[in-house]
Structure 1
Amino acid sequence: MNTNQLGALILRVVLGITFFIHGFVKFQGGIGNIAGWFESIGLPGSLAFAVATIELIGGLALIVGLGTRLVSALLAIIMIGATLKVKLAVGFLGNGQMAGWELDLAFLAMALYLALNGSYALSLGKTLGLSKREEVAAKR
């Protein structure tokens, strides 16, 4: 395993753990409450279910290395939406009552890296033979 593969593995697992926990907390705290909050900011409440599901299942998929590029692309879209709809107005570092978008930007960068480059080291996708193209591209 070279340093690029190791770096991608670290990004994949950390991003996966982070989003898994975010999705878990959304369901644990009552997804109906999250749906209500989505509606209060002008988004469909059903979008809360989609976001929480992508975070929960997608986070787990990243941890085990399954569908890394697709999941990362979906998480990048979520981060863009969260930044534009919620965080942008409070500034990069926040306003003292709400966090800014600096962490969202970091998650976006991590997700974009993984969406563009993948991560097959210690991945279930590699074990199942689902990431051969990705593995060959990484060796170039």
Structure 2
Amino acid sequence: MTDSRTAPYAALLLRVALGILFLAHAGLKIFVFTPAGTAGFFSSLGLPGWLAYVTILWEVLGGIALILGIYARFAAIAVIPILLGAIATVHGPAGFFFTNPNGGWEFLALWIAGLIALALIGDGPLALKPSRR
């Protein structure tokens, strides 16, 4: 049975944590690898380099939307393709465990499960623009 008194705060915690993860990964691409370096990495995978810039922007916008609660249910679903792309190109071939060389896909699968759970649960409290229920 779901505790209706605390479940909304679980949704808030999940929403903010997922948003911070996206901002952290965007920050890694911006400040550590640099956008040009990330574009070069995407190109080395056979992807168009410009897709790196789209990915960074999508991670930033998705992360902000999740943290602030701006259509968070929609944002949660909208950022899943980024993770699926990472699984398909880098982490899937590395195997399941994230400790494998090049990182496996277990962390990304958990991240996707959290995003789906948030989309099902709802925005939680303190959402600036709650999604329709």
Compute the TM-score of the two structures, normalised by the length of structure 1.
Answer: 0.82
Q: What corresponds to 2:13 in structure 1?
A: 10
Per-residue CA distance 1:28-61 (angstroms, 9 max, x = gap): 2310100110011011111111111111121112
Per-residue CA distance 1:17-37 (angstroms, 9 max, x = gap): 111111122122310100110
Q: Does 1:46 align with 2:46?
A: no
> Which of the residues 72, 76, 79 maps onto 2:76?
72
Secondary structure of the 2:93 match is: helix
Change in 2 beyond 3 A, CA 1:95/1:65: closer
Question: Structure 1: which 4+ aligned runs deviate by more than 6 Å?
Answer: none
Gaps of 5+ in 2: none
> Which of the residues 92, 114, 128 maps onto 1:110?
114
RMSD after superposition: 1.8
- Counting only pairs closer than 5 Å after superposition, residues 32-43 of structure 1 correspond to structure 2 as 32-43=36-47
- Counting only pairs closer than 5 Å after superposition, residues 81-120 of structure 1 correspond to structure 2 as 81-94=85-98, 96-120=100-124
Per-residue CA distance 1:48-107 (angstroms, 9 max, x = gap): 111111111211121111121222112211111111221111111157422111110011
Q: Does 1:25 align with 2:28?
A: yes
State the alpha-carbon separation in 2 of the partners of residues 69 and 90 from structure 1.
Answer: 30
Query: Which structure has the higher relative contact order (CA within 8 Å, separation 6+)?
Result: 2
Change in 2 beyond 3 A, CA 1:8/1:94: closer
State the alpha-carbon separation in 2 of the partners of residues 28 and 102 from structure 1.
Answer: 25
Q: How many residue pairs get matched?
A: 129
Q: What corresponds to 1:137 in structure 2?
A: none
Task: Flag the structure with higher helix content.
Answer: 1
